[in-house]
Amino acid sequence: MTARYRDLTTVRIGDMGAFVVPRDTAVGIYQIAEAAAKMLGEFCGDRVEVKLRGWIDRKKISAIKFVRQCTGSTLRDAKFLCDRAENEPQLIGHYTYNEAVQMVEEAKDEGVLLSIPSPLELLAKQVEE
């Protein structure tokens, strides 16, 4: 059975994008989205690990400056951390989820690659505990 255009609606869920779904299931999806947003709000106060993965070509100096700014470490320590990040991700610190997301966006503008756990990983971790 194919759905006609008038039987479909678009549901937008935060930053995840828009989904086209049948009208009769749209209410259920909104309820799921509200519950997910509530759960995300609960762990936003928890601390998450922010890791340095590397940098974009010819941006090593920017990466060192960014690490110094975030950690307050010396030039030597920041350079050592950046050198080690070429082989494997290095822990920069623990921040609240909102701070970490903001930090990743700032780092992206400067050509630095950071990683934080996805919201799904954090939800799964919270459920396990």
Read off the amino acid at residue 94: H
Instruction: Of 126, 119, 127, give the one whose Cα is nearest residue 15.
Output: 119
Q: What is the percentage of the chain residues whose pLDDT exceeds 90?
A: 21
Contact (CB, 8 A) for 66 and 112: yes
Which CATH topology does 47-128 take?
Ribosomal Protein L30; Chain: A, (3.30.1390)
Q: Is the pTM of this model over 0.75?
A: no
Instruction: Of 37, 38, 35, 5, give the one whose Cα is nearest residue 21.
Output: 5
The helix (H) or strand (E) run that includes residue 42 is: helix 23-43
Please give the Cα distance from 129 to 125 (Å, whole number). 6
Lowest mean pLDDT among 7-21, 37-51, 111-125: 7-21
